[in-house]
Chain A
Amino acid sequence: MPIKTPFFPRTSELCDSMQWKEWAGYYAASSYGIPHDAEYFAFRNAAGLLDVTPLFKYKVTGPDAAKYLSRIMVRNIEKLKVGRVTYCCWCTEDGKVVDDGTVMRRDENEFFVTSADPCFSWFSRFLRGYKVELEDISEKVAGLALQGPTSRDILKQICDAPMDELAFFGLTKAKAEGFEMYISRTGYTGDLGFELWVENEHALKLWDSLMSAGKNYDIRPAGIAALDMVRVEAGLILKDVDYYNALHCLIEDRMSSPYEISLGWTVNLDRDPFNGQTALKAEKERGSSWCIVGLDINWPEIEKLYNKHGLPPEIGSSAWRDSIPIYTDSSKETQIGYATSGTWSPILKKNIALATIEKKYEKYGSNVQIEMTVEHKRHTVSAEICKPQFFNPERKTSTPNNQKS
């Protein structure tokens, strides 16, 4: 039975659709209205407010905190500056990804880590020998993601932090009326956006002040359905959809290395030992077997397929999370991988997907065939392989006072 986040008194009142999902043991609004288009456009056009409390949250403190985190993360956390955030993943000794999340350096010796799966047990296994304290604050701290072009302006109304100076992946402490919070310029939408972290007791104050200040900036509570669309546009992968926690995989085929799920850029190989280093070095040398790519699915071919049946193209308004086979050609003789999630992108006017394919076929601009079922019949349409990032507006990273990240 899921439980309620501290924002539930507000979200439940606003959730007219009565559509909820279970997210890490919490109720999460799937969409507030039907359809969820308005929530999608709030993210891209104004500001969407999403309850991200179900993320797991950890506080790591102590003189060895940076060293310890560098030991478990694929990224060298010792290089992360105070007031900065980094996105990365963590691996087993075999170099297979356990989970991904953000690491925020609040102070020289204080870090805040978010994850999708509960990782206290995993993190605890490597504490030995480090002067560090690990605390699971998942149930003490609530989180909101305020994402979209007007998000910065809204935050300026409610807190004292220099929002015009907060760079992409920056972190600041902020004072608002009656409470304090941390603001990180992070998110899961690939847009200008922030994540706000408060003690549970202040959660409703934060929600109310945002909704009230946001009125003039077209703020709107948004659910998972809209988030699913924007995250595919941004090419951000999702655990249990695009990859699986290696600790829970029954077979090795289901495990992935960071290189295989487009997170190779987060790996800092040449440094002191860290979990998975040897295996990752070997894989880097040998080359990976798989990779995640973007697919731009050919619209005219889709139209043609539907036309054959006397139909206009019918593409669902929601993102999907099924495994769809990818072939080299329409004979379907050689399957080279599978798409794991996709969506119609209203802003790009494209039908897009994220797919895992054999590395040797990763050639941007080349064409593959993706299965498509029309009127109960399985066909294929062509799709162009591209970088797994379809939407990347300048506002995502730009900062008014020009302190570029």
Chain B
Amino acid sequence: MSQKYDAIIIGGGHNGLICAAYLAKVGRKVLVLEKRHVLGGAAVSEELHPGFTFSVASYVVSLFRPHIIRELNLAKHGYEVIPMDCSFLPLPNGDSLARWADPSRSRREIARFSKKDSEVYPEFSKVMTHMGKLAKTVIDYPAPDISSLHPKELKALFRLGKTFKDLGPDLLHLNTKLITMSALDFLDLWFESEVLKAPMSVSGIIGTFQGVRSPGTAYVLLHHYMGQLDGAFRSWGFSKGGTGGISMACANAAKSFGAEIRTEASVDQVLVKNGTAQGVILENGDELTAKTVISNLDPNRTYLKMVGENHLEDDVLKEINRYKLRGSSGKVNLALDRVPEFSCRPGVGEHLKGDVAIAPSIDYLEKAFDQAKYGEFSTRPYINAVIPSLTDPSVAPPGKHILSCFVQYAPYHIKEGAENWPKHRDAFGDTVVDTMAEYIPGLKDMILYKQVLTPWDLEQQMGLTEGNIFQGELTLEQLLFQRPLAGYAKYKTSINKLWMCGSGTHPGGGIMGAGGELCAKSMLESRAV
């Protein structure tokens, strides 16, 4: 039987679209099915209030693989990222710290809190550059399987080993620390000032159900440094038109190569016969067949909902049930009638054009985590806020602005049960606005529109199981050749001809595009499609 499609991709997130583009580029017939009316998955822009375009979920970009931009010609298709110049930390005592792209300016700012730290900063960056170099060789290739003796796997392992060896003993020891330590302990190796360490340490907990003192969180810090290696000094940036702009560029590229993309086409399940994927069944009952099926969904949804327990072997079922999602964050998006000014640094300065961290102390962050451990959202959470409309005028009407707040901790598993989140949504939104209002006088009077996304909402709306923004925690036991499952990494699944390309595969979350790219390349290399 000849099939119409070489591959059907479930989910039109950026990884699914990139995967489609790579396959279509070499002549494969590809169909992308997105259940929502908009493409992008978590990298999505939506006009929720007239004139205001929100990056609803994922809001900044750094790690997007530059070779994907080149190979798919994404710049031509509308990819545009505007770098951020500043990281701003307002403090409750009326002081503040801004870290700038200008190293001397940063040094002077940090020196107000610790002269030593201000000078150690370049040394820290140097070490992280080395570590990032290592991480880059990891994320740009499928993770080698350490249990295999296949020459190809051994070669990949050897390449990885050489990269480690080239670090030299000092950096190698440090790398071990980076993998095992907590974000805070790792920063303690360099810095003394809490005002510096607190906002730096949060890079280690974003999207994770861990605190800054939890072992293993240092590794996630590294993700924030890797983007710098790609030829962009100021690596974190705003996508023009919101993060959906990136997804649209990927979709346009895929279409230009001949891929077919359907929205409002919700897949009910993968059609599996004799352990082999044959196509998909849509919610409306339509059956579409294809030579292969690729899931851009998270591992939990892929295995348990799309495939179903009946088709899974016991050990796979056991492992997938153990896969940690446990979302820990929410999002509050505000449309404002003016620029939100901070009382500790009044005026509409450059300090508002980067990201703003509400992370005044280590104890503040750790207390925020304490509440989450016992099933409550933090009454004073860590917030990472951005005002993209100060950099990208296309997202809000003139003079009006967007304040987008990433909020942690908002545990999916609240003690009343996750399904009771809707009852707490308003209180959660109020907590975030109250917290921000402590730094931004008059904030409440500026609000024209408010969108509150709890982890429950992220699951219901975006299909992120348990609201995990990375499709599974970025903790070491769920990375590399164990992402998502040991034995079923490398974009394959336990079902024949069913592949995976989302953030739940190596190398993990963030707008990277690597999952989509590496899945497509792995399939082509093994002639699966």
Contact = CB atoms under 8 A, between A and B. Distances in A.
Interface stretch (A104-112, A118-126, A279-287, A296-304): A118-126
Given A118-B118, A120-B115, A121-B119, A250 B107 contact: no
Given A24-B104, A25-B104, A119 B130 contact: no
A124 B102 CA distance: 24
Interface residues of A, number: 17
Contacts of B120: 121
Main secondary structure of the interface of B (DSSP, over half): helix
A250 B126 contact: yes
A3 B108 CA distance: 10
A275 to B, nearest CB: 16
A299 B86 CA distance: 50
25 contacts: A1-B100, A1-B102, A1-B105, A3-B108, A25-B107, A25-B108, A118-B107, A118-B118, A118-B119, A119-B119, A120-B116, A120-B119, A121-B116, A121-B117, A121-B120, A122-B119, A136-B115, A247-B122, A247-B123, A247-B126, A248-B122, A248-B126, A249-B126, A250-B126, A250-B129
B313 to A, nearest CB: 48
Interface string A1-13: 1110000000000
Instruction: Give the interface centre of A2, A3, A118 by most chain B CB atoms within 10 Å.
Output: A118
A164 interface: no
Contact of A124 (B104, B116, B122): B116
Nearest to B114: A121
A22 B104 CA distance: 10
B105 A248 contact: no
B85 to A, nearest CB: 10
Contacts of A119: 119
Given A121-B117, A248-B122, A249-B126, 10 more contacts: A1-B100, A3-B108, A24-B104, A25-B105, A25-B108, A120-B119, A121-B115, A124-B116, A248-B123, A250-B129
Nearest to B100: A1
Interface string A105-145: 00000000000001111101000000000001000000000
Contacts of A22: 104
A250 B134 CA distance: 13
Interface in B273-289: none
Interface string B72-105: 0000000000000000000000000000101011
A22 B103 CA distance: 11
A22 B107 CA distance: 14
B107 to A, nearest CB: 7
Contacts of A249: 126
A350 B107 CA distance: 41
A24 B107 CA distance: 10
- The 4 residue pairs across chains A and B that have the minimum distance between CB atoms: A25-B104, A121-B119, A121-B116, A118-B119
A240 to B, nearest CB: 12
A2 B115 contact: no
Contact of A2 (B104, B118, B123): B104
Contacts of B105: 1, 25
Nearest to A252: B168
Instruction: Give the interface centre of A2, A3, A121, A124 by most chain B CB atoms within 10 Å.
Output: A121
A315 B376 CA distance: 72
Contacts of B118: 118, 121
Contacts of B107: 25, 118
Contacts of B119: 118-122
A119 B116 CA distance: 9
A120 B120 CA distance: 10
B208 to A, nearest CB: 29
A252 to B, nearest CB: 9
A390 B129 CA distance: 40
Contacts of A24: 104
A154 B115 CA distance: 38
A141 B115 CA distance: 17
A361 B104 CA distance: 39
A95 to B, nearest CB: 16
B417 to A, nearest CB: 51
Contacts of B123: 247-248
A2 B119 CA distance: 17
Contacts of B108: 3, 25
Nearest to B119: A121
Interface in A1-41: 1-3, 22, 24-25
Nearest to B122: A248
Contacts of A3: 108
Contacts of A120: 115-116, 119
Interface string B119-146: 1101100100110000000000000000
B470 to A, nearest CB: 30
Contacts of B115: 120-121, 136
Nearest to A118: B119
A136 B105 CA distance: 17
Interface string B442-461: 00000000000000000000
